[in-house]
Amino acid sequence: MQHGEEGAAMAKDVKIKLIELAAGAGLYLGAIIAAGYWSVAGSWKLVLFLPAYIVLSEGIVWTIYKNFRKRHFFDENLLMILATAGAMFVGRHKEAVAALLFYQVGNLVEAVSLNHTKKSIAEFMDIRPDYANLKTGSGEKTISPGELRRGQIIVIKPGEKVPVDAVVTKGASMIDAKALTGESQPNEVKIGSKLFSGSMNLSGMLEARVYKAYEESTAARIMKLVEEANDKKAESENFAGRFTKYYTPAVTLLGILVMILPPMMFPGYDAGTWMYRGLIFLVAACPCGLLVSVPLAFLGGIGAASRQGVLIKGSNFLEALSDTETFVFDKTGTLTEGVFTVREISPKGMSEEELLELTAYGEAYSTHPIAVSLREAYGKSVDTERVSYTKEHSGFGVEAEIDGKRVLIGNSKYMSSQGMFYQPVSKIGTAVHVAVDGEYAGYILISDMIRKGMRKTLRWMEKHQIETVMLTGDNDRVAEDVAKKLGIDSVFANLMPEDKVEQLEDFMESQLESEKLAFVGDGINDAPVLARADIGIAMGGLGADAALQAADIILMEDEPERIINAIRISKGTVNAVKQNMIFAIGMKVILLMLALFGYVSMQDAIIADMAVMLINILNSFWVLKFPE
């Protein structure tokens, strides 16, 4: 969990490896000099080289033992030990130790590069607050953020991180949320503004009321997501794992055949030469270069995305994104801003003002964009004493008891389902109908704006032959209007939340196994769809808790263009992985052939493998530095 500690632990690992390596290299040089000086031969030479061999192989043997206990028998470590022990046995001491030495250098490079990538992700995710200033009767007390309770007042000074999610009660300031959202523009906060933990207070002194404990706060939840992301493996990663599972035993068997078959079949062949060639074959077969480059590239891709404020919950989703052929969008709050303006108030038996007041009261507890906009339009504060009951019917509207009267607020579907007469509206916009105690009371026509950046995103998708679909619970007129403005391929309107899931499942059934479908939503009335899609992409992860949970990819800011970047990063990552695999496997085949015919020594084989690994690592690093 603690990024700092994890980093320190990894660095220690690297340090131990370095010391081992230096000791091994020293002993190795010593042995070479001593062997030349005394011109020893035979078993004395073994004695000279044995210390270096033991120091360099100890860590590998330990790993093999641990893998054995996990019932994981054949891996590249075993391959190395078999080959080098064999070489020691047949009197090739110098080569055996040299091969181990280079193998360990390779391991070190691997550890350092994985470490580097993880660290750069963790650094970006430097959102962990270390302390909080609790306001007490007499002053302030510095405590750990985990000790804060809901309702307490905290003080956040300029330059400090917001420790938990809170609401400003005093002061005004600029807040930098770049580490959370990738958005470099600071935003202004004043009394009543929400503060998200992990963002940075830039200018003014703030007092704020805690409204979420540390564990439920934004920073802790995002860090948890990022950690879990490392456990979800992409198919290519599994492929590399599966490949080595069969490859290693097969190659070991081949190596043994190389040792025994030729001398057995052709009496003139020298058994010693073929023994050694078989051992070189084993070293040449080591799949190390392939094994690190794949996770490294995926980590790099996830890191590049997170630097741009796109949180990807696992390399499997990054990989799937590169194969996505269909993008399905929710309308309200996704394709549109979700900020409605009132176009027309058409009351029946009351004044416009009264109708608006009634809806604002009925929507007092709803978080739906329509509710928020109606409260905003009403402008005055709502006296919740007068609202004794409310119930939200998703996809329909709300039901409330206001001043003892039963009030229904919602779309025409809701009115008909309640057996209410209503006035049909033919103008473009979303009509919110109201009924009081079984009497129709009129409607309010509201409309929404296309989200900034959406047009560009959809145009890009069209250019790249990505199919686009809109699902909405709103009426067809509004749906068609938005679709026409954005150039969306197909539209499905009047859907209840459960219809959206059904519709999505229909699409997914008709697509091929290799094709993926992504759903983009805001988490309001569409969390089940987000969860069901191959890839659920949520907009504005900071506000919506449901979205943060259900989605696989989270845009930390409501900027749709970031989807384009995420797709480009995913394609870049998958390409790098493919290049790495092809290169590593191709080189392996060539090397094995050369080993078979005696053209490479044991050192040559391991150095060639290291070169492949280095090239692959460099290629993977490129992904991490993906241009912004």
Applying CB under 6 A, the residues found at the interface with ligand ADP are 330-333, 363, 366, 368, 370-371, 392, 395-398, 409-411, 430, 432, 472-474, 497, 524-525
DSSP E strand boundaries for 50-182: 132-135, 140-143, 153-156, 166-170, 173-176
Q: How far is the CB of 240 from ligand ADP (least distance, A)?
A: 40
By beta-carbon proximity to ligand ADP, the closer residue of 53 and 414 is 414
Does the footprint of Mg ion cover residue 332 (CB under 5 A)?
yes
Tell me the one-letter amino acid at 20. E
Would you state the structure tokens that stand for residue 382, as one six-digit string?
A: 């709502």
By beta-carbon proximity to ligand ADP, the closer residue of 411 and 457 is 411
Q: In whole angstroms, give the CA distance from residue 281 to residue 371.
A: 71
Does the footprint of Mg ion cover residue 478 (CB under 5 A)?
no
Contact of 359 with 432, CB cutoff 8 Å:
yes
Does the footprint of Mg ion cover residue 479 (CB under 5 A)?
no
Q: Which of 165, 330, 522, 552 is catalytic?
A: 330
Q: How far is the CB of 555 from ligand ADP (least distance, A)?
A: 16
By beta-carbon proximity to ligand ADP, the closer residue of 309 and 473 is 473
Contact of 458 with 468, CB cutoff 8 Å:
yes
**DSSP secondary structure of 27-83:** HHHHHHHHHHHHT--THHHHHHHHHHHHHHHHHHHHHHHHHHHTT----HHHHHHHH
Q: How far is the CB of 165 from ligand ADP (least distance, A)?
A: 24
Q: In whole angstroms, give the CA distance from residue 568 to residue 557.
A: 18
Q: How far is the CB of 437 from ligand ADP (least distance, A)?
A: 18
Does the footprint of Mg ion cover residue 336 (CB under 5 A)?
no
Does the footprint of Mg ion cover residue 175 (CB under 5 A)?
no
Contact of 156 with 145, CB cutoff 8 Å:
no
By beta-carbon proximity to ligand ADP, the closer residue of 244 and 411 is 411
Q: In whole angstroms, give the CA distance from residue 623 to residue 152.
A: 44
Site stretch for Mg ion (CB under 5 A), options 209-217, 296-304, 516-524, 612-620:
516-524
Does the footprint of Mg ion cover residue 392 (CB under 5 A)?
no
Site stretch for Mg ion (CB under 5 A), options 58-66, 172-180, 405-413, 520-528:
520-528
Secondary structure of residue 570 in the 3-state scheme: helix
Does the footprint of Mg ion cover residue 520 (CB under 5 A)?
no
Does the footprint of Mg ion cover residue 360 (CB under 5 A)?
no
Does the footprint of Mg ion cover residue 330 (CB under 5 A)?
yes
By beta-carbon proximity to ligand ADP, the closer residue of 530 and 610 is 530
Q: How far is the CB of 316 from ligand ADP (least distance, A)?
A: 27
Q: How far is the CB of 203 from ligand ADP (least distance, A)?
A: 37
Q: How far is the CB of 362 from ligand ADP (least distance, A)?
A: 8
The site partner of 366 among ligand ADP, Mg ion, none (C-beta below 5 to 8 Å per kind) is: ligand ADP
Does the footprint of Mg ion cover residue 609 (CB under 5 A)?
no
Q: Is 609 a catalytic residue?
A: no
Residue 198 contacts by C-beta under 8 Å, 6 or more apart in sequence? 127, 128, 129, 161, 162, 177, 179, 180, 217, 218, 219, 222
Does the footprint of Mg ion cover residue 524 (CB under 5 A)?
yes
- 213, 219, 222, 226: CA torsion to nearest 10: -120
By beta-carbon proximity to ligand ADP, the closer residue of 472 and 603 is 472
By beta-carbon proximity to ligand ADP, the closer residue of 217 and 366 is 366
Secondary structure of residue 451 in the 3-state scheme: coil
CA 604 vs CA 202, 571, 591: distances in Å: 56, 35, 9
Would you state the structure tokens that stand for residue 617, as one six-digit string?
A: 């690592």
**Taking the CB of residue 152, how many other CB atoms lie within 10 A of it?**
18
Active-site amino acid positions: 330
Binding site for Mg ion (CB under 5 A): 330, 332-333, 524-525
